[in-house]
Structures are given as C-alpha cells and as structure tokens.
Amino acid sequence: MEHQSHQMNMDKMNHIKMHHGTGQSMDMAGHDHHAMMIADFKKRFYVVLLLTIPVMLLSMQIQQWLHLDISFRGSAYLLFVLASVVFFYGGWPFLTGWLSETKAKNPGMMTLIGFAISVAYAYSAATVFGLKGMDFFWELDTLILIMLLGHWIEMRSVAGASKELELLVQLMPDEAHMVMPDMVHDVTTDTLKENDIILVKPGEKVAADGIILEGKSYLNESMLTGESRPVQKMKGDKVIAGSINGNGSFQVTVSHAAKDSYLSQVVKLVEDAQNSKSKTQLLADTAAKWLTIIALVTGITTFLYWYLTGQTLAFAMERMVTVIVICCPHALGLAVPLVVAKSTALSAKHGLLIKNRTAFENARKITTVVFDKTGTLTVGKFEVSKIVPLQKELDERELIRLASSLEQNSEHPIATGILQKVKDLKITIPMAENFKAITGQGVEATVGGQKIMVVSPGYLKENKLTIPDGFTADDTETVVFVIIGKELAGYIALSDEVRPESAEAVKTLKQENIKSILLTGDNSKVAASVSKTLGMDSFIAEVLPHQKLEKIKELQSKGEFVAMTGDGVNDAPALAQADIGIAVGSGSDIAAETAGIVLVNSNPKDIVSLILFGKATYRKMIQNLAWATGYNVIALPLAAGVLYNQGIALSPAAGAVLMTVSTVVVAINASLLKVKA
C-alpha cells in the first residue's frame, strides 16, 4: 500500500509536469484515487471498530480481566467468524501491502503487520479447533484497528493540508457571464466547457482559461504567475482563470473546463508537495524496516529456543506472537504522520503555507537568512519625499505627471507611491502606449509622442549615463530617474518605512545564531541604512535578479545553509537556488513554484516563527521516533521471555497494551506541538 501510494505520487508529479493537455485529466484521476483510498481506509476502520466490541467481549482474556463470563454454545466459533471478518476485511490493505513489499524486496511496516496478524490469526484459529492455548483474537482486532486509523490519519493529513491551500486559492469565481446569441446568461463556473464564450466585466475575476475573442484590458495575474504588473491583453491573447480584470471588458473563448485550469494545476502541485515523503518520514520507514527484520528474526529465534528447550508449542507460539506484536511499529507508523497532520494544520492557520515538507523540516539547519528588502523588512509603502526636475522647461508637477503615466499599470510599491502623490496633487494622469518593463531596472512607454523611461540608479550605471551634479538623497531614500527621449529629465525620491517587527525578527535570529543578510536591488546607501537600523550582519545592494542567484551560490559555497525570502517575482531564480525558498507576501507567490514555503503575510516575524516551528516539528518527530523504537529495547527481551525463569514474562495481551500505550504517548506528544508566534 505504501509502495503503491508512493508510485501514485510519482505518477501524479509526472502528469503535472506536463501541465496542460492530456496530463490534466489523468492527474484528476490520481487525485480521485487518493480520495478513494482515504474513503476506503475510513470504511474499513469503522467496520472493524464495530466488530471490536463483540470480539473483545467474547475473548477469554478480556473476560478474565473484567470478571465476566460470556460463554454459550458456539461462542468460540462466533468469535472466530467475527475475527475472520476483521482479519480478511480490515487486514486486506496490509496483506496486499506485505505482498507488494515482498515483490519489491523491500520489507517494511506492511510486512511486519501482515506477518503478525497472519501468525496471530493462524494460531488463534488453531486454538478454536483444538490446539491448547489462548487465542489472540482481540489483540489481532485492535492491532488492525489502530493500523487502519494510522493510515487514515496519514492520508487525511495530506489531503487536509491541500484543503488549507485551496481556501487560500479561492480565486476562481463561482459564476460566469455566458454569452448566448440573444442574451448574456449567468451560469456556474464548473458548467463551462470548451468553446463556450464568456463576458468578463471590469474588476471581475476571469472565470476560465481561454483566448480573448474581442475587447481588451489590463489583467492582474500576480496571484497566478508572480508577475506583479498588470498585463495588457487584447484579441487573440491567452487569459488565465482567477486573474483580476482592470477597467476594460472583453469576451473570452473558453479553452477547457474549470477543473483543468492552470489554477487547479497549482493546487495539485502543492498537493503533491504535501504528498511527497520528507526525509523524516523516510527515516521512520527505515526504522520500521529494521524493526521488521529484528522482530521477525527475534520472533522466530524465540519460538525455536522455547520449543526446542522442551516448552509446549502453545507457549513457544505465544512468545513469538508477543515479540512480533510488541515490535509492531504502530507508534512508529503514527510518529511522523501525526506530527505532519498537526504541523500542517497549525502552519496554515498561522499563514505558513508548506509546499515542500522537506524544506520545512530542513528549516532547523538554516545558518543564514537572506532577506529581500521591499515589502519584507520594510512596509513596502513608498511615499514621495522629493521631486527634482533637471531640465529648465520642466517643473515638479510635469515630471511626476509623466512618471505617473508609466506607473499606472504597475503594482510595484514605488509605482503606488508615485500614484498616491499624483492623486494628492490632483494631477490628471496621461495615457501611455507601447508599455514595456525592463527587468529589474524600470519601465518605458510612449507618452504624448515622447519616449519616457522611469529607471533605477543601476540602469544609469549600466548605460553609462551620468548621475547629475547636486544629486542628493538621504540614506533611507529610494530614487527613480525619469528619462525623456535620451536625456535625463529629473528624479523622484521615495522613502519606505522599516517594519516595526523587523528588528525583533533579526534579534531573534541572532539569538538562534542565524545570520541575517539584506539583499536588494536598491542603492547601497538605503541598504546600509536599513541594515544598520535593524542590526543585520551584512547587506548586498544594487543587484539584478540574475545576480541575486549568484550571491546565494556564493554564500552556499562558504558552507552556509541559506534560506532566501522574496516576493516570488524577480526573486524566483534566487528562491530556487537557496536551500529553502520562502516566498513572502500575500499575492504574487501562491504560484511561486520556486519556493518551498509561502508566507501569506509579509511579516518578517513569520520567518522566525517558521524556523522555530520547523525545529519544534523536527524535535517532535525525533522524540516520537525515539519513543516508538526505544520502548522495544526493554519490552522485546521481556516478550521473548528473558526473565521467564524469574517469573516475569509478558503475555501477548500485555504486549498489545504496551504497544497501544506507546501509540497513545506518540499521539499526545504530537498534539503538544505549538507555533511560537
């Protein structure tokens, strides 16, 4: 079963990589298969739970403990029939899992459970039909019950984590305006099919992937593609479901049904990341594998020892089954899934979206956190602090008026600041044509027949334009230059306030011996000022998106385990290069596939919470693994009968109780996990 589900995950990932076309419908099938497996384990669990009460009451051992006497003609046979249903129906996933593990020559938990329940069943059945000894039917029943519960919880935790994501990706509108020959009719989004035509009005969300049939508008696709600027779309252009329309209205020819949309693909992608086994889960599997081998070898050795030294077959069998039952890795099976379930639910509640389990668990190894400045350490709200024209015929109002025409299509914090100032000055914004973004350096467009550019200081350097005499900006100001034609026309300085939580976040990182480094495209003065104010270890300024990647590599070559935080747009290459990519900001990043973790709020304290929570989660997993395997060190020799001559021998029942107690301890320990906010 484990093997099959792992294979299923691999298949799903491959389908998703195909992204569009046939891969999607196949992926949906994989998704449904997962849901069916959850439902199957749930059903088996409840059936076994129902049968547990009569099985327990009819068991001699339980009757002795409770001083009951429930025996009637054929009661032993009734118990046998009920236990047989539990064994074959409840144990079926484990028996088939044992078979597939044997085929794959990879013995693990399924082998041990399969073997233990088969031996217990065969021996107990023999006692019903004449063999001297006490049956283990109730142990068999509870064994299967707890294992079914464990698997059900594990699968639910994976599916539940994805549901948390889906809540955050509720971008898909419920309704669409379908264009009919004679009228526009409102329909539910999930009824849309290929070649339907829908109307998208200003400010609405696009209801389906498709191609614009008529009309044009600017679309904000930041939630989906990570591109922060609204993109102009006109006839023949593709649009993505979930993107937000600007001021125009247009008609779209639908490409495919909602369930196959790009947005659904993103949800699936995250789902698969949740599904992928992390290193700790693999550690649990390895521990289970060794425990299996130890249990089987010890069990058989125990049986042979007692049987060959003259004990009865019943006694030797009892010792063997006790050893195997005690060794059965219930607690081990739950050790990691329970922590995963708890940590994923808690993370989602605290705005930490874990897309990659391994990245999350590796948070404990982080030695350096590289912060992108704007919107992470700073509020990201730029306010214009000065407007300086450098040409005689220009005044401040004209300079900011021209700049605002380029910035009206941008979501960037600098653009927002300029537009706010224009609004305050009650200036009418002119139309811009031929709008183009210069990656990481600015924007250009034509305004009133003139080519206008709004660029960063880095652009001036790269294009060998001289920074004007008398240029002053204080250390905390970010400056953009306005170029008209090829002439430098002036500059606008904006300042951004440092977030109040930033200093605290940096201080906590210091206490944890984690270095904090500022990495920004902004000028050195601003970077130095922010870095100094926050008490950071160092800063790297005036870097372009592709250079950010190089800087991360440099840090890694010095042996640092680097977490990079960024907004998932120009930081994508660096996020991918970092050991752990953390996409920050509620928007551009849900689809930032390059990041292993997404922080829904742009709060730097969340990064610290994430690291501490990663450490706490890992500690819990290791504690659980240690407990789940450690108790065997004492219990196993006792089960084998090492102290039998001193009058101490664990019965299979006591073995099962010990095993159940260890499972409860693991469950309680997992539930104590908390996020330190």
Closest CA to 607 of 573, 579, 581: 581
Active site residue 285: no
Q: Are 126 and 311 in contact (CB under 8 A)?
A: no
For the sheet with 231-233, list strands across it: 231-233, 217-220, 244-245
Instruction: Determine phi and psi for 282, rounding to 5 degrees.
Output: -65, -35
Distant-in-sequence, close-in-space partners of 238: CB < 8 Å, separation ≥ 6 = 209, 210, 211, 255
The single residue listed with the structure tokens 């509020």 is 379
Q: How far apart are CA 269 and CA 253, in angstroms?
A: 26
Give, to the nearest 10 degrees, the angle between helix 137-168 and helix 109-128: 150
The single residue listed with the structure tokens 């196949």 is 26
Half-sphere exposure at residue 607, Cβ-oriented, CA atoms within 13 angstroms: 34
Q: How far apart are CA 403 and CA 393, in angstroms?
A: 16
Distances, alpha carbon 203 to alpha carbons 218, 221, 419, in Å: 10, 13, 19
How many beta carbons lie within 10 A of that of residue 190, not counting itself? 14
Q: Are 625 and 283 in contact (CB under 8 A)?
A: yes
Q: Which residues pair with 199 in a beta bridge?
A: 177, 251
Give the long-range contacts of residues 37-43, CB within 8 A, separation 24 or more: 37/5, 37/155, 38/152, 38/155, 38/156, 38/159, 40/93, 41/93, 41/148, 41/151, 41/152, 41/155, 42/152
Q: Are 355 and 158 in contact (CB under 8 A)?
A: no
Q: Are 239 and 219 in contact (CB under 8 A)?
A: yes
Q: Measured in Å, how far apart are the chain's first and last C-alpha atoms? A: 38
Distant-in-sequence, close-in-space partners of 81: CB < 8 Å, separation ≥ 6 = none
Measured in whole angstroms, how far is the alpha carbon of residue 78 from the centre of its chain? Answer: 48
State the DSSP H helix or E strand holding residue 394, giving kind and residue range, or none if neither. none
Closest CA to 165 of 600, 588, 607, 618: 600
Q: Which residue type, as a one-letter code, is found at position 245?
A: N
Q: Which residue type, as a one-letter code, is found at position 430?
A: P
SS3 of residue 250 by DSSP: strand
Q: Are 232 and 433 in contact (CB under 8 A)?
A: no
Distances, alpha carbon 397 to alpha carbons 119, 336, 422, 467, 582, in Å: 88, 62, 8, 22, 40
| DSSP, residue by residue, 445-469 | EEETTEEEEEE-HHHHHHTTPPPPT
Q: Which two tokens stand for residue 608?
A: 């610290």
Alpha helices in 59-195 (DSSP H): 60-66, 75-85, 92-103, 109-128, 137-168
State the DSSP H helix or E strand holding residue 560, giving kind and residue range, or none if neither. none
Q: Which residues pair with 179 in a beta bridge?
A: 184
Q: Which residue type, as a one-letter code, is found at position 229?
A: R
Q: Kindly name the residue from 196, 372, 522, 579 that is annotated as catalytic.
A: 372
Distant-in-sequence, close-in-space partners of 472: CB < 8 Å, separation ≥ 6 = none
Q: Which two tokens stand for residue 285?
A: 């599997």
Known catalytic residues are 372
